[in-house]
Every structure is written in C-alpha cells, then in structure tokens.
A = this chain, B = another copy of it.
C-alpha cells in the first residue's frame, strides 16, 4: 500500500507543508495570547498592590498580593490535578521521550494542551519563580499532534486528507516542528528554536526536517512580528512595549583583556558547579514531592498553594530588608522611581525620589526582572552586592522548590534569573579587576547556569544571541557555555535527561550502554515467544491478543506453504485487529491473497490511529463459528522485518534498533535446523535496568 498515485504524492507534499506552516501560525498565536494574558493579569495584580502601597496601606497590600497569588496558584493546580495531570512540569522531557519513540499515554492529548496553556498563564501570573518557555514547547508539540491527527475524533473534528499523516514518521516530524515553534514563540528566537529542537528534543534528524522546522519558526516569527507591531499602538492593555527582540541591549563596545577572560572563565566554572548542584537538588526535591503528589489531587493543590504563599512572602517581605537608595540625579523625574507601570527602579515603600533595589527585582514579572539584571550599569551601580546576593539565594531556592509542584512550569526562567543575578553579583564584586559591564556579566552568568543545568550549548548560545541582539558577545558566551557544561558534566546529567530517567520512560540513548558490550542479542530475549502461523485459526489469534500485551508477533510460514518452517515476517497487533474486524475469514486453511483483503478494507484503515484511539481486542464481536475459521496473515505481514542473528553483539543490535528507530526486531538463530525465529527484541529489552536485572554480574556502570 505504499504505491501511491502522483496526485496523492502531491497532496501529501502540499499537506505536509501546509500543516507545518499552520502549526507555526497557531503556535505563534497561542504564544502571543498567553504573553498578553500573563502581562495583563500579573500587571493588574502588581498595579493594585502598588496603589495600596502608595497609600501606605501595607498590610492590605500584602493580603491582596498573597491572596491573588494563592488563588491563581490554586486555580492552576486544580486544572492540572483534576483535568490533565500530564500537563504539570516542563513538558520538555515528555516531548523528548515521545520523539524517541515512547508512546506514553496522554502526553499530547487535547486536554493536556488546554490545561498546559491555561495553567501556564495562571502559574506565571501567580508570581511563581517559573517560566512559560518549557510549557510553550509542550504546547507546540500538542498543537502539532492535534493538527496532525486532523483534530480530535472524540470531538468530531476529523478530516480525510489527514490520513496521510497517520504514521510514526510524519507525526514525529510534525511534532518536532511544533517543539521548535514553541521555543521560537517563547523566546522570539527562530534560529534558536530550530537548534533547540535539533540539539535537545529530537532523536532522529534529517536534513529535510531542518528546512521544514525552519520555515515553521519563520512563520511563528512573522506572526509575532505582525501582532507586536499591532500592539505597539497600545491595543493590548498592559502589554505592548516588547519588540521582537526581548532584551535588546543595544550595542556595547566589547573589548576584553586577559583579566576579563579569567573572570569569564571563573564565572563559567562557578556556573557549572552551581548548575550541577541545581540538578542534584531538583532530583531530590522531585522525589520528595512525588510522595506528596501521589496521595491525591487535594494534596497537589495544598502543596502548590503552600509554595505560592512562601514565594509571596519572600517577594513581598525581603524588599523590606534593604534600605532605600536615592535615585541617580540624571534619571530622576523621568525614569526613577517607576510608579504605576512596569520598569526598573521600583518605588515600593520608599519615599519619593528613592527606589528599592530588591523590589525592582522581586516585585516585578520575571521578564522585567531579567531585563533589569541585564541592563547596563556603566555609570551607576543600580544593584548592590547584598541586594544581588539575597535575590540570587532566594531565586535559586524558590526555583528548586517550585519545579515539582503541579502546575506547568518551565525551568528556563528560574535558571536565567538565578544565573543573571549570580553573574551580576560576580561582576559587581570583580568590578575593580574587570572592566566589563555588570549587565554583560549578568548575561554571561545566565549562559553559564543554562549550560550547567541543561547542558545545551549551541541552542542556548543562539537563543541568548537572539534575545539580546548582539553578535559581538558570541565568543564570550560560547566560552562560558563550554566551560560550564564541561564542569557540570563531571558531576551528573542534564536536568531533562534526569527527569526522563526519574519518570521511568524507556528512553533509548544514542550510545549503547556499556553493559551491552559483553552480551549478545540472544541473551536478553526472554519469555515464551508467541508466533503465528501464516494462515492462522481466528480463535488462536484472538486468544493470543487477549492473553498477551505484545504489539508485534513473528509470522512463521509453515509446511503446507513452505517446505520447512521459515520466518515470513512480522505482524502488528493493530493491523491484526483491523483485519479481524474486517472478517475476511475462510473455512479451510488456504491463502486468500491481498486482493481479497483490500476489496473490503482500504489501505488507510491500517494507518496508525491517534493515541488511545485504536481498536481494542475487547471491541471485537466474533461468533463461535468465526472463531473456528482461518485468517490469512500474508497481506498484513511486514515481509522484510529487520533481523539480527542471535550471536550479534547486543551493543550492535542496539545501534541498529536506535539508528533506524525500530519498535520490533526479530532475532534469528545462527545454526540451522531450529525454529526460524528465536525471539523479538523491543525497546524494553535494551533498557539498562532490565539488562542488569537479568545479568547482575555483568560489567558495572
């Protein structure tokens, strides 16, 4: 059924492109509107609180602030806990696992999409130390998956053309585009989005996909550009000041000496260490939280509200610790303090003409806080050492505590916040030694933390460049990223890989595990092998499908059809179910041939259904008489499955399995005169836990 007419190929090509571009449009719109929502909700909340503060009604302001935050947090947690638990967390590890071939349930369901968008808006508005970037990636993937399925059949929105996309390859491609579009929408960084998808998310990459992903992110950028231009006119409430470049720093003259380079290297090393520590602690915190979260939805909400109250107390309470700073004279009257709008130099509790440095960071949206940290400080040191130290410690801790709660939460923003404050701290401390700007140090600090936690290099570098629009910073950012990643890699793995592993998703690594080197493929084949004869009794098929959970079965060509038993191929559970549903049975044990089958069933009936929508064996309604008839499996058997010989090194088999993205692989015997297939290898047989369970004494890790 692979032979298609020219028209069909054309339809397919057009549709592939239309879908990719359409994903871009939708993700661009979603990203834009969630941005607007966040800016308006959070801005309104901060404005109300600020007004009360101006009237010196501090307690009322505090109650309002903490109440708003807790309510928003509770709403987000309730959505996550009751409607779509899969929407909690970053979503990047799940997307990564999906693209590796793990079809985990509900990762990309429509309900997850809805909760992810709403929950992310609510969570960010609630003032948590978390970002909407990770959730945007997940959102992009969900949108792509939904569009690729032609809408949800549950809600009656399907479309016939979409049938071309009911296979793993096209679906994965589209979801890769979606993930890239998510990054592009979150950071307004099209090239960064493509590189992120390439470096972090996908497991298989083709050159053609590079191009398609790129055009998707281009569409995202254009949609954002158009909408932001529209918003500049003031049509979008409190939103509207941001351009396409989020933190446009203006060009600094970057000339650096050897001392500066030494400072940058130091920053990289420290960033790597703190990043590795962050990963370690996140892992611990997640383990503790998962004990709480397992107890039920209510516990999830309580945990979330608790963290929200702690966050509110910190952000509202800590600014009281610092003394007020008088505004620099050249900025007074126009820029300092900012009252009634977002910006630098928050007034908080200070008398007119003064600002509270810590409030400028805490009592703001996260985006504004980052902008403040990145801002140049040539002539005037806005933030003191103590301010930065308090902010860094608080954000680092809150970032750790927040990630595991049941709201959609990205890690980018906490890491950038902590890194930027840390970098600015180092820059301020080294002010006498290094001539670099503290704002530049903040940027480099953010880079070092990103490198230390996420272990991405190229994509982070490009994203930071696109965020700041200054290519001259490139060599410094690269240097700091490389150092931070190298240092952190000595201690543990990247945070996303850690989470994938903690969730127990069977993720196939690129490199085969060391323990597979000394084993052969035959060693890990286990359990009784279930095979079908090429023309099999219906009852036997149904019985087997009921009693096992396997998804692939080898088909053996038995004596009437071949001189000796030989491997005919591999048949999939889903195809078997469709064939049985079609009731193309014969009384005698004879071949019916493909023509017979395809008179009743169209080739597209065998296409892969969306998640959770395939036929189930319980759906079959077969009579006793039918159960005794025979069904010819030839037409639906994959006649050339990939096979390995049983004495093939397991590492090599794993390379083949991973390299070609297989789901089943037949193991055939080496010597003759034995059954023609020894067993089947699936993803789980390559998992190191499983192998170490079988052979505890095999080479240690």
Of the candidates B199, B647, B655, the one whose C-beta lies within 8 Å of that of A210 is B199
Is A485 a contact of B647 with CB atoms below 8 Å?
no
Is A194 a contact of B458 with CB atoms below 8 Å?
yes
Query: 1/0 per residue A439-466: CB within 8 Å of B?
Result: 0000000000000000001100110011
Of the candidates B225, B461, B520, the one whose C-beta lies within 8 Å of that of A191 is B461
A246 to chain B, nearest CB (A): 11
Complex: how many Å from CA A68 to CA B208?
A: 45
Complex: how many Å from CA A210 to CA B210?
A: 14
Query: 1/0 per residue A668-701: CB within 8 Å of B?
Result: 1011110000000000000000000000000000
Interfacial residues, chain A to chain B (CB-CB below 8 A): 2, 190-191, 194-195, 198-199, 205-208, 210-211, 214-215, 218, 221-222, 225, 229, 244-245, 255, 457-458, 461-462, 465-466, 469, 471-472, 474-475, 478-479, 482, 485, 510, 517, 520, 562-564, 566-567, 639-640, 642-645, 647-649, 652, 655-656, 659-660, 668, 670-673
Is B222 a contact of A475 with CB atoms below 8 Å?
yes
Is B244 a contact of A472 with CB atoms below 8 Å?
yes
Nearest chain B residue, comparing its CB with the CB of A251: B251
Is B640 a contact of A652 with CB atoms below 8 Å?
yes
- Copies of this chain assembled into the complex: 2
Complex A-B, nearest 8 residue pairs according to Cβ-Cβ distance, in ascending order:
A218-B478, A640-B648, A672-B672, A640-B649, A659-B659, A214-B458, A469-B471, A221-B475
Is B564 a contact of A671 with CB atoms below 8 Å?
yes
Complex: how many Å from CA A660 to CA B655?
A: 8
Contacts of A195 in B (CB 8 A): 195
Contacts of A244 in B (CB 8 A): 472
A678 to chain B, nearest CB (A): 14
A482 to chain B, nearest CB (A): 5
Is A670 a contact of B520 with CB atoms below 8 Å?
no
Complex: how many Å from CA A642 to CA B475?
A: 43
Is A510 a contact of B640 with CB atoms below 8 Å?
no
Complex: how many Å from CA A671 to CA B673?
A: 11
Is B207 a contact of A199 with CB atoms below 8 Å?
yes
The answer to whether residues A207 and B640 also contact, given A482-B218, A672-B672 and a CB cut-off of 8 A, is no
Is B517 a contact of A221 with CB atoms below 8 Å?
no
Contacts of A482 in B (CB 8 A): 211, 214-215, 218
Is A510 a contact of B656 with CB atoms below 8 Å?
no
Is A660 a contact of B671 with CB atoms below 8 Å?
no
Nearest chain B residue, comparing its CB with the CB of A649: B640
The answer to whether residues A645 and B643 also contact, given A2-B517, A655-B660 and a CB cut-off of 8 A, is yes
Counting chain B CB atoms within 10 Å of each CB, the highest count among A207, A255, A457, A639 belongs to A207
Contacts of A655 in B (CB 8 A): 660
Is A215 a contact of B478 with CB atoms below 8 Å?
yes
A199 to chain B, nearest CB (A): 6
Nearest chain B residue, comparing its CB with the CB of A206: B510
Is B652 a contact of A478 with CB atoms below 8 Å?
no
Is B485 a contact of A218 with CB atoms below 8 Å?
no
Complex: how many Å from CA A139 to CA B545?
A: 60
A672 to chain B, nearest CB (A): 5
Counting chain B CB atoms within 10 Å of each CB, the highest count among A485, A648, A672 belongs to A672
Complex: how many Å from CA A2 to CA B649?
A: 13
A8 to chain B, nearest CB (A): 15
A650 to chain B, nearest CB (A): 9
Contacts of A567 in B (CB 8 A): 645, 670
Of the candidates B218, B485, B566, B660, the one whose C-beta lies within 8 Å of that of A479 is B218
A243 to chain B, nearest CB (A): 9
A264 to chain B, nearest CB (A): 11
Of the candidates B222, B229, B255, B647, the one whose C-beta lies within 8 Å of that of A640 is B647
A-B contacts, 9 listed (Cβ < 8 Å): A198-B198, A206-B510, A221-B478, A222-B475, A244-B472, A469-B472, A640-B647, A643-B645, A660-B660
Is B458 a contact of A563 with CB atoms below 8 Å?
no
Is B640 a contact of A457 with CB atoms below 8 Å?
no
Is B457 a contact of A210 with CB atoms below 8 Å?
yes
A44 to chain B, nearest CB (A): 30
Complex: how many Å from CA A466 to CA B191?
A: 12
Contacts of A207 in B (CB 8 A): 199, 510
Contacts of A462 in B (CB 8 A): 191
A405 to chain B, nearest CB (A): 30
A84 to chain B, nearest CB (A): 30
Of the candidates B225, B563, B656, B672, the one whose C-beta lies within 8 Å of that of A656 is B656
Contacts of A461 in B (CB 8 A): 191, 214
Of the candidates B205, B469, B474, B510, the one whose C-beta lies within 8 Å of that of A221 is B474
Complex: how many Å from CA A245 to CA B643?
A: 53
Contacts of A457 in B (CB 8 A): 210-211, 214-215
Nearest chain B residue, comparing its CB with the CB of A208: B510
Is A471 a contact of B466 with CB atoms below 8 Å?
yes
A517 to chain B, nearest CB (A): 7
Contacts of A472 in B (CB 8 A): 244-245, 469
The answer to whether residues A660 and B670 also contact, given A194-B458, A225-B475, A458-B214 and a CB cut-off of 8 A, is no
Nearest chain B residue, comparing its CB with the CB of A215: B482
19 further A-B contacts with Cβ under 8 Å, apart from A199-B207, A211-B485, A214-B457, are A191-B462, A191-B465, A211-B457, A214-B458, A218-B475, A218-B482, A222-B475, A225-B475, A244-B472, A245-B471, A465-B471, A466-B471, A562-B671, A567-B670, A642-B652, A642-B656, A643-B643, A643-B644, A643-B645
